[in-house]
């Protein structure tokens, strides 16, 4: 993947979010094709992680989408392969810390400046006020860029 492609993927993630996909779906769907995952499957896999895990306001869904990409890029599938597990966890921590550096937190409630407690399970209406009051589109852009740079970096640890 090259830098120009990175810009396109970040734009794609923002567009997917603005179409109505949740933050996790938007980030994950923007990269799923690299791993031969179709858009519908990607949307299904990431569907529960919006709103900080189903509106529980825990880890930001955009960050979770980033982690889903990392699971494909640095897979841990053999229970005896400690190195693969460690490589994945290092990438998760590296990218989470990069996100936190930019956004101040990777916790949804902190990002929204609300009390960290589950909210009603019904999703919010996506209108102008929704987008104006939330940093979610920026979170999607930041997460999509960070994970893209991680893929470009060639880290193997």
Q: What is the pTM of this model?
A: 0.91
Q: What are the domain boundaries of the chain?
A: 3-153
User: Which of 147, 148, 152, 137 shows the shortest CA–CA distance to 64?
Assistant: 147
Mean pLDDT of 82-109: 97
Burial degree of 76 (CB within 10 A; 0-12, 13-18, 19+): middle
Tokens linked to 27: 């980030």
**Tell me, what's the pLDDT at 124?**
79
pLDDT given at position 130: 74
Mean pLDDT of 79-85: 97
Q: What is the pLDDT of residues 44-81, one digit of tens each?
A: 999 999 999 999 999 999 999 999 999 999 999 999 99
pLDDT tens for 2-17 read 667 999 999 999 999 9
Measured CA to CA, the distance from residue 122 to residue 54 in angstroms comes to: 9
pLDDT at 118: 66
Residue (of 4, 7, 42, 2) closest to 25 by Cα position: 42
Higher local confidence (pLDDT), 157 or 22: 22
3-class DSSP state for residue 123? coil
Q: 9 and 31 in contact (C-beta within 8 Å)?
A: yes
Q: Which pLDDT value is given to residue 1?
A: 57
Instruction: Write down the pLDDT at residue 144.
Output: 98
How far apart are the C-alpha atoms of 134 and 72, rounded to whole Å? 29
């Amino acid at each position: 993947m090259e830098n120009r492609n990175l810009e396109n993927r970040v734009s794609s993630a923002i567009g997917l979010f603005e179409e109505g996909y949740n933050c996790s779906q938007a980030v994950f769907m923007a990269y799923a094709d690299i791993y031969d995952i179709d858009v519908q499957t990607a949307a299904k896999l990431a569907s529960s992680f919006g709103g900080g895990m189903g509106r529980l306001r825990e880890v930001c869904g955009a960050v979770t989408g980033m982690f889903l990409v990392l699971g494909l890029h640095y897979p841990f599938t053999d229970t005896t392969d400690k190195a693969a597990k460690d490589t994945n966890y290092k990438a998760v921590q590296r990218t989470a810390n990069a996100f936190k550096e930019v956004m101040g937190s990777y916790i949804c409630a902190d990002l929204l400046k609300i009390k960290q407690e589950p909210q009603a399970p019904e999703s919010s209406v996506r209108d102008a006020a929704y987008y104006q009051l939330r940093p979610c589109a920026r979170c999607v852009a930041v997460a999509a860029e960070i994970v893209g740079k991680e893929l470009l970096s060639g880290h193997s640890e």
